[in-house]
Structure 1
Amino acid sequence: MATNLDGQLVVAISSRALFDLEEENRVFEQSDDRAYMKLQLDRLDQPAKPGVAFSLVKKLLAFNTDAKRVEVVMLSRNDPVSGLRIFRSAEVNKLPLERGVFTKGRAPYDYLRPLQANLFLSANPQDVRAALNAGFAAATVATHAAHAKNSYPNEVRIAFDGDAVLFSDQAERVFQKDGLDAFQKHERKLASKPLPPGPFMPLLQALHRLQQAGTPHIRIRTALVTARGLATADRAIRTLMGWNIEVDEAMFLGGLAKAEFLRDFEPDFFFDDQTGHVDAAAQHVPAGHVASGVSNQST
């Protein structure tokens, strides 16, 4: 019988999201793929350093202590030869990766469906947009972002923006078209009507299932970090209740900058649809851009 990934949380991740390959990437951008491949081959026995999403991946894999609950798959535009270095780097860093797809420059997102991926993390914005358009939770990793601290070694900490990430951009469209007052009136009027799901709702569901499966060694702690104020918190909370999903923390910041709050929450990763929020957060925590919703239509 063929192996399958049914019931597992599947994370597909590119090599630059998992490891620090920015120096090698500059060679690729300034020269050609042959020079890049030669450099990777020359460094075959030199493990790449952990990248921005490394902490998230390492902690998620810790859920596999007594049963296989999480699968992390390399999904990379690298060539297979360069892929050798990635797997060796994973082995040195004690990441038990079993699978990888290397496409030598071709867009890899078509393989998300057979992988049953719950999340795709990449440093390539075009691949991320294509994955989002195909219905997958995906984010462009800010490769310049701060790495996660190790203050909570037994918790996977993940923070999400609300509108256009966990929820649809329905309310955000009202805000951008008609302003704050119209947005608040709209959300109060529809407080009892759940928001449509956004691209990351299925991931939050999968994390919720993973948390319920449980392990004594590690747990998940989630946070909703939104620019909404308390005047419009009702609908967001009711929406999560309607999905039968709990978040551990909810920050309704009423327009305050998110970065300082994220610095103190110390997530292993933060997802937001606005590049300004991602760049500010990246000064303190690992962060990624979700190119969905009205804020990203012209970018």
Structure 2
Amino acid sequence: MPFPIEQKLVVAVSSTALFDLSQEDKLYKTLGLDEFRAFQKNNRNNLPKPGAAFPFVARLLNLNNIYDDEQPIEVVILSRNHADAGLRMMDALSHYGLNISRCFFTAGEQPFKYIESLDAVLYLSTDKDEVRNAVKNGYPAGYILPCETIPVIDNSPLKIALDFDGIIADDEAETVFKNTGKLEVFHKHENALRGVPLPPGPLMKLLLKISKFQKLERKKAETMGEYTQMLQISIVTARNAPAHERVITTLSEAGVDVDGIFMMGGIDKRRVLDVIKPHIFIDDQITHLEHVAEIIPCVHVPFGIANIEDGDQAPISEFKKATQDSFPLTSTGEKLSDDQISHKVDMLKKLIWKHKAEIWSDSDSLEPIQMLDPDEILKQLGYKIVESSSLGVFEHSGKSYEVSAQIDRESNVIEVSSQEPVVSRTFTLAHELGHALMHAQTGLHRDPKPKDRSNFKRMPVEREADKFAALFLMPEKLVKQEFMRIYMVEKFSLNDDRRYALNPSNDKKINEMIGSQFGLAKLLAKKDNYNRQGQTPIQSLNEIFNVSVESMAIRLIELDLV
């Protein structure tokens, strides 16, 4: 029967991480492979001492003693040694009582490529270059630093401490800080997204699997009374309020409950690590580890923006670069004409069409109208779109206004109020796209609307963004094309036949509606059964262009179709 490795918590470790083979490593680098292999054979009875990963591995394997039948923990050796040189290491495993039976000897080949075949959630190695290569290829690998003080090997509980950003979560938030260098921008970004969990980082899967055992441990403690938990997990992060809530949100969404979360807010992490005394501490920034490694086994995961080296920087997308180059922002107070806005929209559409294969993997199967997606275009330009339950209400001149959306350029976040009708969301995002590409406001920009949805005088930048949205979402050529397909005229004017086609049941409300130009335009915008009595309804114009009936009606009037 195949070994159910996918059901285990699997950790892979190199022989040099598990045992202190520093002398042998120097021998290999100075005298070569043959001398190294000879040394290993001749010193088979001279067993190596524990290495930096030993305390973590030994205690991790001790968890199998709690679950004797299941044996849920598996540690696998991934070694670049030849098998004959590995005999000394296998003897050491037996000597130290480590229940490790699976070893991969790759005879000089980098072994990290076997991580996936083992379903390992962590690979520890003393080879910096191998670890960096593994992380670049998406593997959960870490470089374990030399540790001057190896913790005493005993049966005490396993203590694991982990950083949050770049380890449990990805580097999205860290990127905001690195790109701006402003802590207040980072805090504003994280506060705006406090209810949105961060994408998983390289070791989220490790935390998920370990936390399952922690929950079982707690159940044992509840039922057995005197039971001592053998697993403790701590998050030690440089974050502090108001960036704290997103940590909680992310862990809660993942179903993870840790023993401690330490929001250091710039205080040296060593201060709290000295108290916790973890058997392993994992961080994505080497500067947080080098002085800690004097007393605690430390692991560096070279993931994300904190570890970009010369030549590593991911190139900006061609679409984003071309868009940035093509859209100089207007200064505050400068007004744009309709022709200028139309020119900008046309430029954007050309760029989208030119770079469609870069934006959508299935671009060949998309209709042109499907590419007019402000949500996707904003994401391509680096904006994060978040839905919030409320963005605030304020009073002005005796009228209540609610914020429908807001854009923050510094943190590249666009928030949309969930109070905004669903049919208006696409237009709202296109409106924000207009701000992003045309207006040079810095910081937070809010778009208010009267709570009673009445008309009100819009500021010039808002009217410009509305115009941009209308031209982007409802292009003249496509609107006229769809209008002709449905109504079979270039301009709709009422006669007896068309009046009947619109209102075969002579509904009084419809008769009242078509008595005005805007009322007729609204009816034409939402009509899905024109001249189709007894037939399957078709998509209405507002459904085709994914906008509200009112926005579609205004566009029909602008294009002189009604």
Scaled by the length of structure 2, the TM-score of the pair is 0.51
TM-fit CA distance, 1:135: 3.1
Tell me which residue corresponds to 1:259. 270
TM-fit CA distance, 1:115: 1.1
1:225 maps to 2:227: no
Tell me which residue corresponds to 1:131. 134
Structure 2 residue runs of 5 or longer lacking an equivalent are 221-226, 311-562
Tell me which residue corresponds to 1:212. 215
Out of 183, 186, 189, which is 2:186 matched to? 183
Q: Which has the larger radius of gyration?
A: 2
Out of 78, 83, 86, which is 1:83 matched to? 86
Matches within 5 A, 1:112-151: 112-149=115-152
Q: Say whether the 8 Å CA contact 1:47–1:85 is kept in structure 2.
A: yes
1:199 maps to 2:202: yes
Tell me which residue corresponds to 2:28. 28
TM-fit CA distance, 1:130: 3.0
Deviates more, 1:2-11 or 1:161-170: 2-11
1:109 maps to 2:120: no
TM-fit CA distance, 1:149: 4.3
What do you get for the CA RMSD once the two structures are aligned?
A: 1.6
The 1-side partners of 2:72 and 2:272 are apart by 30
Task: Give secondary structure in 1 for the equivalent of 2:177.
Answer: helix
Tell me which residue corresponds to 2:250. 239
Task: Give secondary structure in 2 for the equivalent of 1:250.
Answer: strand
1:289 maps to 2:292: no
Out of 258, 261, 273, which is 1:250 matched to? 261
Tell me which residue corresponds to 1:97. 100
Structure 1 counterpart of 2:177, which letter? F
Task: Give secondary structure in 2 for the equivalent of 1:270.
Answer: strand
- Residues 101-148 of structure 1 show CA distances to partners (whole Å, capped at 9, x for unaligned) of 011211101111221111100111222223323433211010245322
Structure 1 counterpart of 2:168, which letter? L
TM-fit CA distance, 1:219: 2.2
- Residues 178-221 of structure 1 show CA distances to partners (whole Å, capped at 9, x for unaligned) of 12111111111111111111111110001012223447675210
Q: Say whether the 8 Å CA contact 1:120–1:131 is kept in structure 2.
A: no
Structure 1 residue runs of 5 or longer lacking an equivalent are none
TM-fit CA distance, 1:41: 1.1
The 1-side partners of 2:192 and 2:128 are apart by 36
Q: Say whether the 8 Å CA contact 2:161–2:233 is kept in structure 1.
A: yes
Structure 1 counterpart of 2:118, which letter? L
Task: Give secondary structure in 2 for the equivalent of 1:71.
Answer: strand
Tell me which residue corresponds to 2:490. none
TM-fit CA distance, 1:230: 2.3
Structure 2 counterpart of 1:83, which letter? G
Out of 167, 170, 173, which is 2:169 matched to? 167
Task: Give secondary structure in 2 for the equivalent of 1:232.
Answer: coil
Given the superposition, is the C-alpha separation of residues 84 and 278 from structure 1 closer, same or farther in structure 2, using an over 3 Å criterion? same
The 2-side partners of 1:265 and 1:144 are apart by 17
The 2-side partners of 1:181 and 1:242 are apart by 26
The 1-side partners of 2:229 and 2:25 are apart by 34
Task: Give secondary structure in 1 for the equivalent of 2:282.
Answer: strand
Q: Say whether the 8 Å CA contact 1:55–1:148 is kept in structure 2.
A: yes
1:60 maps to 2:71: no
Q: Say whether the 8 Å CA contact 2:235–2:262 is kept in structure 1.
A: yes
Tell me which residue corresponds to 1:279. 290
Q: Say whether the 8 Å CA contact 1:17–1:53 is kept in structure 2.
A: yes
Tell me which residue corresponds to 2:8. 8
Q: Say whether the 8 Å CA contact 2:147–2:296 is kept in structure 1.
A: no
Q: Say whether the 8 Å CA contact 1:9–1:70 is kept in structure 2.
A: yes
- Residues 35-57 of structure 1 show CA distances to partners (whole Å, capped at 9, x for unaligned) of 11111111111111011110111
The 2-side partners of 1:143 and 1:105 are apart by 22
Q: Say whether the 8 Å CA contact 2:122–2:141 is kept in structure 1.
A: yes
TM-fit CA distance, 1:78: 1.3
The 2-side partners of 1:264 and 1:282 are apart by 15
The 1-side partners of 2:139 and 2:113 are apart by 11
The 2-side partners of 1:149 and 1:186 are apart by 43
Paired residues, number: 298
Structure 2 counterpart of 1:106, which letter? E
- Residues 219-274 of structure 1 show CA distances to partners (whole Å, capped at 9, x for unaligned) of 21011111111221111111111111011111101111111211211111000111
Q: Say whether the 8 Å CA contact 2:147–2:298 is kept in structure 1.
A: no
TM-fit CA distance, 1:12: 0.6
Q: Say whether the 8 Å CA contact 1:154–1:218 is kept in structure 2.
A: no
Task: Give secondary structure in 2 for the equivalent of 1:36.
Answer: helix
Deviates more, 1:207-216 or 1:255-264: 207-216
Task: Give secondary structure in 2 for the equivalent of 1:50.
Answer: coil
The 2-side partners of 1:280 and 1:251 are apart by 19
The 1-side partners of 2:252 and 2:176 are apart by 23
Tell me which residue corresponds to 1:40. 40
Scaled by the length of structure 1, the TM-score of the pair is 0.95
Quick one: percent identity of the two aligned structures?
34
Task: Give secondary structure in 1 for the equivalent of 2:142.
Answer: strand
